[in-house]
Amino acid sequence: MNVPAPQFPASQRTSYQFPVYKWIGWLAFSGFAIGLLVVYFIAGLFGWPPPILWASIVILFTMGALLLDRPKLLLFIMMVYFLAVPSNRLLGIVPIPLLGSMNKFFMLPFLVVIVMNWIQRRQIQQGVLFPIAFLLVAILSWYVNGKPSVVVTVQLTLIALRLYILWYYCRLTCTFENDQEMLRWVWAYIIYIAIQYLYNIVWHRGLWLRYHPDRSGGIFGPFASGAHLVGYMSVIALLLIVGLWMGRMKRAGGREKWSLILLAGIIAYNLIFMTDTKHALLLMPVAVIPFFFHASFTRWAKTGAIIGIVVFVLAASIYVQSAMGRRDFQRVWHSFLRSPKAEMMYALTVDFPYLVRYPMLGAGPGRFASTAAIEARAPLARRYIIPSLDENRRRGYFLVTGTVISSSVVGNPVTDFSAITSEYGWLGAFIFFSFWGWVLYWIMRKAFQASGSALRAGIFMALGGCLIFMGMIMVLADILSVAALVYPIWMLIGRSWDMTPETVESAELPSLNEA
Mean per-residue pLDDT for 481-486? 88
- Model confidence at 388, pLDDT cuts 50, 70, 90, reads confident
Which among 248-252, 407-411, 484-488, 510-514 has the top mean pLDDT?
484-488
pLDDT at 512 exceeding the cut of 50: no
Residues 130/434, Cβ–Cβ less than 8 Å: yes
Whether the pLDDT of residue 345 is over 50: the answer is yes
> How would residue 38 be classed by pLDDT, with cut points 50, 70 and 90?
low
User: pLDDT higher for 476 or 37?
Assistant: 476
Cα 42 off chain centre by: 33
Would the CA dihedral through 215, 218, 221, 226 be positive or negative? negative
What mean pLDDT comes out for the span 451-477?
87
pLDDT at 12: 43
CB 475 within 8 A of CB 286: no
- What gap in Å lies between CA 141 and CA 362, rounded to an integer? 6
As beta bridge partners, residue 89 has 95
| More confident of the two residues 203 and 123 | 203
**DSSP assignment string, 309-370:** HHHHHHHHHHHHHHHHTT--HHHHHHHHHTSHHHHHHHHHHTSHHHHSS-TTT-S-TTSSSS
Contact by Cβ (8 Å): 466, 489: yes
pLDDT of residue 318: 73
pLDDT value at 515 more than 50? no
Q: What's the confidence (pLDDT) of residue 21?
A: 47
SS3 at position 278: helix
CA pair distance 153, 146, nearest whole angstrom: 12
pLDDT of residue 324: 60
State which amino acid sits at residue 107.
M
- pLDDT number for residue 62: 72
8 Å CB contact between 18 and 24: no
**Is a pLDDT exceeding 90 seen at residue 435?**
yes
Rounded mean pLDDT, 120-135: 84
pLDDT at 11: 41
Indicate if the pLDDT at residue 15 is higher than 50.
no
pLDDT tens, 446-460? 888 876 677 888 899
Q: What is the pTM of this model?
A: 0.82
Minimal CA–CA distance to 292: which of 284, 302, 282?
302
Q: CB pairs under 8 A, 24+ apart, for 478-481?
A: 478/414, 478/415, 478/416, 478/419, 479/229, 479/232, 479/416, 480/159, 480/160, 480/162, 480/163, 480/416, 481/159, 481/371
Among the listed ranges 25-34, 79-88, 349-358, which one has the minimum average pLDDT value? 25-34
DSSP string across 206-263: SSS--S-GGG--GGG-TTTT-HHHHHHHHHHHHHHHHHHHHHHTTT--HHHHHHHHHH
Could you tell me the end-to-end alpha-carbon distance of the chain, in angstroms, rounded to an integer? 71
CA trace torsion 8, 9, 10, 15 (10° rounding): -10
Look at residue 97 in the predicted model and tell me its pLDDT: 72
Strongest mean pLDDT among 117-131, 264-278, 279-293: 264-278
Residue 283: which of 231, 329, 223 has the closest Cα? 231
For residues 426 and 251, the answer to whether their CB atoms sit within 8 Å is no
β-pair type (89-90, 94-95): antiparallel
| Rama region for 180: left / alpha / beta (φ>0; ψ in -120 to 50; rest) | alpha
Structure letter (DSSP) for residue 274: I
For the chain, give me the number of helices (H) and strands (E)? 22, 2
CA nearest to 392, candidates 416, 372, 409, 370:
409
- Separation between Cα atoms, residue 85 and residue 219, nearest integer Å: 9
Host H or E run for residue 382: helix 379-384
Least reliable range by pLDDT among 14-18, 43-47, 49-53, 387-391? 14-18
pLDDT of residue 103: 72
* CA distance readout (Å), 129 to 126, 307, 476, 488: 8, 43, 28, 24
Average pLDDT estimate for 374-400: 80
pLDDT band at 252 (very low <50, low <70, confident <90, very high): low
Span 365-371, average pLDDT: 88
